[in-house]
Chain A
Amino acid sequence: AQSVAQPEDQVNVAEGNPLTVKCTYSVSGNPYLFWYVQYPNRGLQFLLKYITGDNLVKGSYGFEAEFNKSQTSFHLKKPSALVSDSALYFCALPGGVTFGTGTRLQVTL
């Protein structure tokens, strides 16, 4: 069965520092991978996706994700965190069935 895993329930970062939110996957064949963000009391919003090609994918709000086939990972990154980035982040596979359990990002001053 195909799956994604987010090993951290919460990530704490100081504003201005780089952030990483981790995701690993288990997929047969070439994976398509997505990241979504959920702000309080809102639905999920699409951030970025990986299909094929460059291993570094750029998305909305200055986020990017690094695809690593050997480590079966698709970590979300941002060079300099903002307090406004505080939210819940989900990685996902296509098809609308498989979402990670979510990682809460807390950025503090």
Chain B
Amino acid sequence: NAGVTQTPKFQVLKTGQSMTLQCAQDMNHEYMSWYRQDPGMGLRLIHYSVGAGITDQGEVPNGYNVSRSTTEDFPLRLLSAAPSQTSVYFCATHFRDTNRYTFGSGTRLTVV
């Protein structure tokens, strides 16, 4: 039981490149979310999903896309990377009724 798995752990992109951050969970949780963590700003919600086929925007969705074709996977796509997207990205899951989140170990992204 791996919980929440994020890949890659580290990535360097050039400005304008695109990439997909992967998130997979084996907990059969309905809810999945993507966050970015920046120094002094805590966690900010990018996008979230309440189930397969359903996604919605969080606080800072610009420049990112998501899809949820299965319960297990929730990839985050950067369409055209910008230096402002340099951050640590976390995926998280939880059951609807618990609000107890389980986080992946993060992807550290640098855009140069």
Contacts and interface: CB of A to CB of B under 8 A. Distances in A.
Interface of A: 9, 32, 34, 36, 41-46, 49, 90, 94-97, 99-102
B85 interface: no
14 contacts: A9-B40, A34-B100, A43-B4, A43-B103, A44-B92, A45-B103, A46-B102, A49-B100, A90-B42, A90-B43, A96-B94, A97-B59, A99-B43, A101-B41
Interface of B: 4, 31, 33, 40-43, 45, 48, 58-59, 90, 92, 94, 99-106
Given A32-B99, A96-B31, A96-B101, 12 more contacts: A36-B101, A41-B105, A44-B103, A45-B103, A90-B42, A94-B99, A96-B33, A96-B92, A96-B99, A99-B42, A101-B41, A102-B42
Contacts, number: 49
Main secondary structure of the interface of A (DSSP, over half): loop
